[in-house]
């Protein structure tokens, strides 16, 4: 028997909230799309072309012969579903699968416990014996029917109570940070150890860019990166200079928002806490007294423009191939095989048409040597999202640790205290879909 509509939707939400799919926004969008189409009896629309254009942002000229995005992502989703049902979802009632060869999901009850009640009831009926109730005569047909019904109801209630208690216990454990903190802590500790060990909540600062104007009249970034000097010299105006227009809007990029979500999810699972602050409210005292994670580049976070810490990779205005000024990542100390400048790739006039970006993970010393500053930034907001997902996803953290590890073979991983790691990001429809390590520099 196939699960009902409500059971399918409930299981979909479990999967979307699962740890296995956290940080995989493209896979979540894929899964949500195919399940909802099936639930709404629109499974005939689950074709490769439809999924490519509606989920992964491909254009009307999409050709599956030259672009395998749907097939690749379907393979990844199948692997994630298998991982989920062999770990945190092993006791779920409903199983959702994506069989090879097509994109229509299948739904079934978990063979492990899906028919517990159905199996228990006949057994209870078969074992029911009128001798339990000596006052009831064995030859009384009505009494025997009542006895069987009573046994069925009692068995059903017992099974329901057992399942309810088991599910409540499992849910309680899954919602308790301490229940998952040990494994998560150990897995991410080489990278996040200093932050995890902090006695006070980690401060996460997200970019909160200032604009002049409004969405109706047109907006302009109030303090863009200055090609001549990236430092903020707003307080060094010449006498008689025209004052800046009134600030009417503050905005935060989509990537920063998604990055906050990824960080909150990681710290929750590790049993740690964090607090969030707008970057415009970030102070030098914060940098002296807090362990801080900053989301966004100096283009949005003004305080970062004046950091005294030496860095090998810097966000600076540069000239692109068309001699237009754009924000790029400048490698001030290029090593063999490295580029001197890294630029985002845009396939059209709109910023939403970014197809490639670079993310920079910078682990720096705070203004006090006992504190650490971690900057997660991309050239665009999509790169910023990717940087946050990269350092909160087990497979990517393992990759980064493998490149940064300085410990001898056989010893626990040890990373340099201060470094910058560069990550290349593939973007589809405004969503980072692929991240890969490029290089890293150890800082003094």
pLDDT digits (tens, 9 = 90+) for 321-358: 888 888 899 999 999 999 999 999 988 877 778 899 99
DSSP string, 65-109: TT--HHHHHHHHHHHHHHHHHTTTTTT-SEEEE--TTS---EEEE
Query: Which residue in 184, 190, 166 sits closest to 112, CA to CA?
Result: 166
- How far apart CA 387 and CA 381 sit, in angstroms, is 10
Counted residue by residue, the chain has a size of 444
pLDDT digits (tens, 9 = 90+) for 129-163: 433 334 444 455 666 666 666 666 766 666 555 55
Strands 202-206 and 372-378 come out as unpaired
- How far apart CA 105 and CA 110 sit, in angstroms, is 15
Dihedral (CA of 308, 309, 310, 313) sign: negative
Mean pLDDT of 348-374: 87
Q: How confident is the model at residue 178 (pLDDT cuts 50, 70, 90)?
A: very low
Q: Which of 51-65, 169-183, 270-284, 411-425 is modeled with the greatest confidence?
A: 411-425
What confidence score (pLDDT) does residue 247 get?
56
What confidence score (pLDDT) does residue 321 get?
81
What confidence score (pLDDT) does residue 432 get?
92
Percent of the chain with pLDDT over 70: 76
Q: Where are the domains of the chain?
A: 5-109, 116-174, 179-233+240-442
What confidence score (pLDDT) does residue 227 get?
47
Q: Say yes or no to pLDDT of 371 above 60.
A: yes
DSSP string, 161-203: HHHHHHHHHHHHHHT-HHHHHHHHHHHHHHHHHHHHT-SSPEE
Q: Say yes or no to pLDDT of 369 above 60.
A: yes
What confidence score (pLDDT) does residue 392 get?
94
Prediction pTM value: 0.56
**Do 225 and 297 contact (CB within 8 A), yes or no?**
no
Residue that is written with structure tokens 């990844």 in the block: 76
What confidence score (pLDDT) does residue 144 get?
65
Percent of the chain with pLDDT over 90: 37
DSSP string, 24-45: -HHHHHHHHHHHHHHHTT-GGG
């Amino acid at each position: 028997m196939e699960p009902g509509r409500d059971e399918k939707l409930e299981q979909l939400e479990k999967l979307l909230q699962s740890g296995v799919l956290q940080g995989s926004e493209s896979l979540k969008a894929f899964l949500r799309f195919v399940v909802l189409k099936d639930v709404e009896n629109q499974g005939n629309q689950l074709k490769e072309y439809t999924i490519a254009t509606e989920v992964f942002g491909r254009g009307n000229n999409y050709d599956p012969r030259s672009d395998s995005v749907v097939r690749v992502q379907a393979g990844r989703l199948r692997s994630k579903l298998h991982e989920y049902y062999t770990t945190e979802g092993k006791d779920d009632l409903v199983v959702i699968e994506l069989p090879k060869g097509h994109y229509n999901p299948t739904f079934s009850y978990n063979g492990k416990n899906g028919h517990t009640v159905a199996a228990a009831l006949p057994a209870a009926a078969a074992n029911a014996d009128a001798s339990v109730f000596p006052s009831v005569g064995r030859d009384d047909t009505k009494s025997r029917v009542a006895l069987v019904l009573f046994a069925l109801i009692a068995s059903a209630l017992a099974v329901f109570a057992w399942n309810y208690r088991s599910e409540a216990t499992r849910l309680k454990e899954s919602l308790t940070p301490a229940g998952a903190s040990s494994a998560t802590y150990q897995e991410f500790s080489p990278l996040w150890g200093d932050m995890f060990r902090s006695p006070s909540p980690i401060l996460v600062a997200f970019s909160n860019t200032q604009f002049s104007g409004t969405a109706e009249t047109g907006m302009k970034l109030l303090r863009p990166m200055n090609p001549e000097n990236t430092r903020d010299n707003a307080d060094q105006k010449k006498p008689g200079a025209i004052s800046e227009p009134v600030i009417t809007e503050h905005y935060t990029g989509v990537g920063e928002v998604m990055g906050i979500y990824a960080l909150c999810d990681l710290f929750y699972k590790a049993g740690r806490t964090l607090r969030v602050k707008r970057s415009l409210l970030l102070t030098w005292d914060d940098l002296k007294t807090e362990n801080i994670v900053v989301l966004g580049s100096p283009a949005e976070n003004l305080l970062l423009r004046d950091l005294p810490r030496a860095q090998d990779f810097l966000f600076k205005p540069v000239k692109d191939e068309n001699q237009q000024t754009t924000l790029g990542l400048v490698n001030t100390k290029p090593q063999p095989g490295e580029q001197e400048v890294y630029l985002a790739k845009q396939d059209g006039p709109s910023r939403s048409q970014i197809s490639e970006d670079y993310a920079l993970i910078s682990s720096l010393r705070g203004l006090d040597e006992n504190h650490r500053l971690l900057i997660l930034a991309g050239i665009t907001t999509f790169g910023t999202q990717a940087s946050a997902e990269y350092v909160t996803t087990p497979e990517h953290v393992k990759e980064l640790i493998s490149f940064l590890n300085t410990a001898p073979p056989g010893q626990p991983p040890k990373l340099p205290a201060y470094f910058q790691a560069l990550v290349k990001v593939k973007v589809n429809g405004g969503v980072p879909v692929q991240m890969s390590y490029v290089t890293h520099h150890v800082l003094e």
